[in-house]
Structures are given as C-alpha cells and as structure tokens.
C-alpha cells in the first residue's frame, strides 16, 4: 500500500502530518508513504522497513523500486499549481 499526505498549513501542518504518517499510516501497514510540503518544497519518504524518514527536495524526481511504473515530479507539480505564490 502507498499513501501521500499533503501539508496544508505553513505554520504547524508539517509536524502534524509527519506524525500522522508515522503513527497512523506506517504503523498500520502502509509500506511507502510520502508527506509533501509545498511550503518548504520538500517531500518526506517513509518506508515500513526503516525508522524515521528521508527528506528530499522537490528537484529530485520521486521513484521507488516497489512502485515500478510510478514517478512523481513535484517540482513540475509545484510550478503548474502556481507554487511561486507560496514563497
């Protein structure tokens, strides 16, 4: 199972969303989880077999061997959504 959560508030949304991913999704068997922070232009990769998460800049394309046909370009998504207005 794969899950994506998007941070919706620049003030305290990141911390809450990271906790939710770990304590709800990963703890209940989600194998791969992403927390996307459009305010910080980063995404956070969680994997069930690892402790914690990896922080990755939007410039790096998301790919995952377990999700062979999926790649996500968060930098392009950010630009298409008018992300420059978040800065």
Cα 17 to Cα 37: distance, rounded to the nearest angstrom = 9
pLDDT in tens, 7-26: 988 887 999 999 999 999 99
| Cβ partners under 8 Å of residue 52, min gap 6 | 46
pLDDT in tens, 55-86: 999 999 999 999 989 999 999 998 888 876 65
On whether the CB atoms of residues 48 and 29 are closer than 8 A, the answer is yes
Angular region, 79: left φ>0, alpha ψ -120 to 50, beta rest: alpha
On whether the CB atoms of residues 32 and 63 are closer than 8 A, the answer is no
pTM of the model: 0.89
Residue 46 has pLDDT above 80, yes or no: yes
Cα 3 to Cα 53: distance, rounded to the nearest angstrom = 14
Per the structure, how many domains does the chain have? 1
Domain containing 20 — which CATH number? 3.90.1570.10
> What pLDDT score does 10 carry?
85
Find the domain containing 66 and state its range: 2-86
């Amino acid at each position: 199972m794969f899950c994506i959560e998007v941070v919706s508030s620049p003030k305290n949304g990141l911390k809450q969303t990271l906790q939710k991913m770990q304590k709800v999704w990963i703890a209940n068997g989600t194998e791969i989880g992403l927390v996307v922070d459009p305010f910080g232009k980063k995404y956070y990769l969680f994997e069930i077999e690892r402790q914690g998460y990896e922080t990755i800049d939007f410039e790096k394309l998301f790919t995952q061997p377990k999700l062979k046909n999926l790649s996500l370009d968060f930098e392009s998504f950010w630009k298409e959504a008018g992300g420059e207005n978040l800065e």
